[in-house]
Amino acid sequence: MTTTPRREPAAPPGPDQSEELVVAAQRLVDNIGTVIVGKTDVVRTAVVVLLAGGHLLLEDVPGVGKTMLSKALARSIDGSMRRIQFTPDLLPSDVTGTSVWDPATRTFEFREGAVFGNVVVGDEINRASPKTQSALLECMEERQVTVDGTSYPLQDPFMVVATQNPLEMEGTYPLPEAQRDRFMARVAMGYPSAEAEAAMLREHGGSDPLADLLPVTDVKQVADLVATVRTIYVAPAVEEYAVAIATATRTSARVRLGASPRATLHLVRAARARAALERRPYVLPDDVATLAPSVLTHRLLLSPDAVVAGWQAHDVVREILAEVRVPEPGR
């Protein structure tokens, strides 16, 4: 019987790398904060997802700044940004691209679709048909597009920031479980405070806040920062804690469909990014617990009894976090 040797973990980031990551991330947060007023926690979560190499789903009522946040994040990076307005008549080829006959060369030439960008903003993603929504499955997971048997790699870094309105359901198609599971985190914007809304009127009442927004980093630095985040150390006890949380969602009587192994992986990756932003070369259980609601709630399907009793996914996650044993320091 042969045993597979245990792979040594990557070396943790040095002081210079850690400081570069923190400074670049703070520049992103501050830059986006000039557009999204009073939502530092939401902006910070968006930056965490970016540095963790994930995709972000923004879900909330109309007019609270979902599209504004996604466009501000995209414009803060000196790379290519593509925007897709999802509509019922949008075709999969509009997203991925298609092969077009070139009479000059008498061959088919591939024309890139809207997904070929560093940051792809998908506005009102649940207004597209399930067939068009499925065009993003390969893109989001494998970072490539396959058309007519040929695979085309997407740009690096690559991030999808999608928005949807949970209230207006006419003319919409709910995202299937496989699609939701590919989003690392879901964030609700929420209404601003009275002070933040008044500041927004003063600062943005007479001009477009995106018009003067300049990039504060580039795609190469973002790719380097993503690679640095992956070297953040996760202790076995913290890994077991993340697995225990995910397992609890699968065994809970209130849940019909629990978190997938991909969800556990996303949770740990996001926790690495949060630890890096806190200037730590290691992940704490608090990083996992803080990000668990954003990473897990959109993946859970509640049982009929839980729905009738008025439970929501975030209530279940909070209950699980209260029940799962937190690792002791030093383990």
Is the pLDDT score of 22 beyond 90?
no
Task: Kindly state whether residues 177 and 259 are assigned to the same domain.
Answer: no
Q: pLDDT value at position 2?
A: 43
Task: Kindly state whether residues 62 and 163 are assigned to the same domain.
Answer: yes
Structure tokens belonging to residue 257: 């469909």
Is the pLDDT score of 168 beyond 70?
no
| Domain end among 211, 241, 272 | 211
What pTM was computed for the model?
0.89
| Domain end among 179, 211, 243 | 211
Residue 199's pLDDT band, with cuts at 50, 70 and 90, is confident
Task: Kindly state whether residues 141 and 98 are assigned to the same domain.
Answer: yes
Percent of the chain with pLDDT over 90: 55
**CA–CA dist 61, 88 (Å, integer):** 20
Most confident of 35-49, 108-122, 292-306: 292-306
What is the DSSP secondary structure assignment for residue 46, as one 8-state letter? H
**CA–CA dist 145, 201 (Å, integer):** 42
Domain that holds residue 309: 231-331
CATH of the domain at 72: 3.40.50.300
Give me the number of domains the chain comprises.
Answer: 2
User: Is 125 within the bounds of a domain?
Assistant: yes
Whole-number average pLDDT of the chain: 88
Q: pLDDT value at position 65?
A: 83
Range in 3-12, 54-63, 163-172, 231-240 with the lowest mean pLDDT: 3-12
What's the mean pLDDT in 30-36? 89
Task: Kindly state whether residues 253 and 315 are assigned to the same domain.
Answer: yes
Structure tokens belonging to residue 28: 């992103």
User: Is 323 within the bounds of a domain?
Assistant: yes
Structure tokens belonging to residue 172: 């919409």
Task: Kindly state whether residues 173 and 298 are assigned to the same domain.
Answer: no
User: Is 16 within the bounds of a domain?
Assistant: no
Task: Kindly state whether residues 196 and 238 are assigned to the same domain.
Answer: no
Distances (CA, A) of 25 to 47, 121, 151, 249, 316: 7, 20, 33, 32, 31
CATH of the domain at 299: 1.10.8.80
DSSP 226-278: HHHHTTSB--HHHHHHHHHHHHHHHH-TTEEE---HHHHHHHHHHHHHHHHHT
User: Is 225 within the bounds of a domain?
Assistant: no
Spatial CA neighbour of 115 closest among 87, 88, 143, 89: 143
Q: pLDDT value at position 169?
A: 63
Task: Kindly state whether residues 197 and 80 are assigned to the same domain.
Answer: yes
Task: Kindly state whether residues 166 and 271 are assigned to the same domain.
Answer: no
User: Is 222 within the bounds of a domain?
Assistant: no
Higher pLDDT residue, 92 or 11?
Answer: 92
Residue 160's pLDDT band, with cuts at 50, 70 and 90, is very high
Which amino acid, one-letter code, is at 26? Q
pLDDT digits (tens, 9 = 90+) for 278-295: 989 999 999 999 999 999
